[in-house]
Structure 1
């Protein structure tokens, strides 16, 4: 008997889960609210664990190489461009600093192409209205409304809630768990032309962070993460970003100034403190930001969504295939994913407090302490994060 799955959300976590399930032989449908399937955003740093997850989804080294250039995390500078902590400038020196600089649309496109090749059905303009989690003897059900207002019902062995930080599935099944504004907003852009360097560099100032990295031979990505009241709107985002980073390191000012104004995006950063108490309810499993939206200070949002997707296949689908009940397989998924994602969420909060969330009073002391920290301590600390590999692989 062919198992069936409905995935709510066609972003990175949803498509990764769809690929994993379809590859395991499940008949899989993705419901995407947007009229067209795509990814709004700029760049993403694919750390070693993200690359390992992509391999677990059938995207080999060549496919990943086509997404973006090899780079590395070079370290942290202060807002004036003085080094706080330098990391090895050779990505081969440690897997914990090796990255791929990728445009989010390219990553999303590669997952979408793989999903379609595996026969995944993608339904757009599908606004989910109700979710019934089902149970051991009852299937899960999802209803959605299409563009014309017609209602459709889907019955499935499994539903995957992958609809992001403002998840409709989470609201239906975990109504008390709402995202919280972090106090920070983030500008993002991709700039054509030469980059400021071949690596990912981050700069810390008072309650602000700036970062840049290459995403192709002819373009760079930058972000500016700053304290702002929730819901702040500007008529000219580019002009405000130029003003906000005036007086920072010259390379920071240059890359912002070189950005076409229309390329600048900004979004308020919300997170889900602690994540959900369980990632499973009935026949529904939660993945990505819908389950555990974190602060961006660890750069692990896309990576953990990819990890979740792989584990939906390697733990849930594989568990059922081996004769376990779906309930037991889902419990195993929760036991594998929730502790790791909670630890990463705690680390992201701690990183923010010590880094970009720190006010002007303590900048000098923090920088002095970091300059005295051996780089080996930092690289050892990142291996627990970046050294993850998919279940079932050596």
Structure 2
């Protein structure tokens, strides 16, 4: 007669809403460090499918992935043909011939988002716990101080329960909507209508004023092009808007001319494909409501027209891009908390940001790493989950919102709106009519702005979390 060992009792049940990079990394960290936490993942899509084509990973985030033992798998899906870290080449390219600004030493690794997501899912032992086609509508919390389960309500009419809800459901997060409506309702009950109104402004995303054209280009279409020398390079190409427009009202903002601003390109799929993201900006539109569809199809001709007059390599890159999708770039306002009761927001649900630090996905990964460190600690129980989540909020919210602001400022730099460039017209910039030492100032500022991602370690924050957990 065979005998079985009783399963370890679960100390609490975690529901992760959203199987993006942040949600999957959180599940993997919990799998690695905890045997007494049950995890269910609810994904709105019918299968795993990461939106967006490419992702760049800086050393700070790569340290986390190596910590999970994923290094060999990542070498197999690396963006460059030899899967090594790449240099980042910054250039000013709104002139007929691009001008070098600065080259960063090899530090960036690039991947296809879907390839990276597949690697994470492959290592998830409880992949059968991912429940697909489950879009969260709202959740219902128990009364304050009660340990009853949280009830999840899905679009298909079904429900589920958990002890801890992790909202990893993206920029249009239903978890954020419920959390901040609840916080606003509580403020109204206290008689603080002003605070309630402010909290409700945190629910919906806001437009950054930018639209990005994303596309993929097979490298064999560029073999004889002006871009051929840059096929295996990560490029960030800066440019000046062509004209300064007056402030725009919400009614006329979409009728204004949009101006080319910057382009990011890098290899993915072992160097077989170039991931391209070309940003255009509507002056004065930051913070307004975007009334059109967020994602639409576009053509190579449309993008070429917007970047006419730019470097020849840019022209050839866009000519080889058969089609693209235009995305309205949205962000989340700086939230006063990521935590309420036994619910916590991570990733874009908490701090969606512009892409100009290449760190949106990386910050989601860091969220998952620190949150798993906290939840798996032996001092954390169902009864003190809220206190534990406040440790996460105290560490991750200031840091991630700092990167959110830094990304915004880096975007202004990419668009040549800082360091004296605001006094250079678009016509002067395109004609090369500016002091060359101004390029050096940009390079210095970029190195300072990206130093945290290249030189700092997330393990410092992990140690801070562990020390705070000892006091629980």
TM range (shorter): 0.7 to 0.9
Residue 30 (str. 1) matches residue 89 (str. 2): no
Aligned mate of 1:165, from 160, 171, 193: 171
CA distance in 1, matches of 2:435, 2:278: 20
CA distance in 2, matches of 1:367, 1:210: 23
Residue 233 of structure 2 corresponds to 199
Instruction: String of CA shifts for 1:255-294, please: whole Å, max 9, x gaps.
Output: 1111232xx22211110132x2111111111100100111
For the aligned residue pairs, the C-alpha RMSD in angstroms reads: 2.8
SS of the residue aligned with 2:48? coil
Residue 104 of structure 1 corresponds to 113
Structure 1 residues 130 and 209, CA, compared in 2 at 3 Å: closer, same or farther? same
Residue 64 of structure 1 corresponds to 74
Deviation of 1:322 (Å): 8.7
Deviation of 1:210 (Å): 0.8
CA distance in 2, matches of 1:152, 1:99: 43
Residue 12 of structure 1 corresponds to 21
Gaps of 5+ in 1: 92-97
- Higher-Rg structure is 2
Matching of residues 1-394 of structure 1 within 5 Å: 1-2=9-10, 3-23=12-32, 24-25=34-35, 26-56=37-67, 58-68=68-78, 69=80, 70=84, 71-80=86-95, 81-88=97-104, 90-91=105-106, 98-115=107-124, 117-119=125-127, 121-134=129-142, 135-145=144-154, 149=156, 151-175=157-181, 176=200, 177=202, 178-194=204-220, 196-205=230-239, 206=241, 207=259, 208-215=261-268, 216-228=270-282, 230=290, 231=292, 236-261=298-323, 264-274=324-334, 276-318=335-377, 320=379, 325-356=384-415, 358=417, 361=425, 364=429, 368=436, 370-373=438-441, 378-386=446-454, 387-390=456-459, 391-392=461-462
Structure 1 residues 381 and 191, CA, compared in 2 at 3 Å: closer, same or farther? same
Superposition TM-score, scaled by structure 1 size? 0.87
The question of whether the paired residues in 1 share the 8 Å contact of 2:298 and 2:325 is answered with no
CA distance in 2, matches of 1:64, 1:290: 26
Runs of 4+ in 1 over 6 A off after TM superposition: 232-235
Deviation of 1:173 (Å): 0.9
CA distance in 1, matches of 2:351, 2:135: 22
Gaps of 5+ in 2: 1-8, 182-199, 221-227, 242-258, 465-472
CA distance in 1, matches of 2:435, 2:390: 43
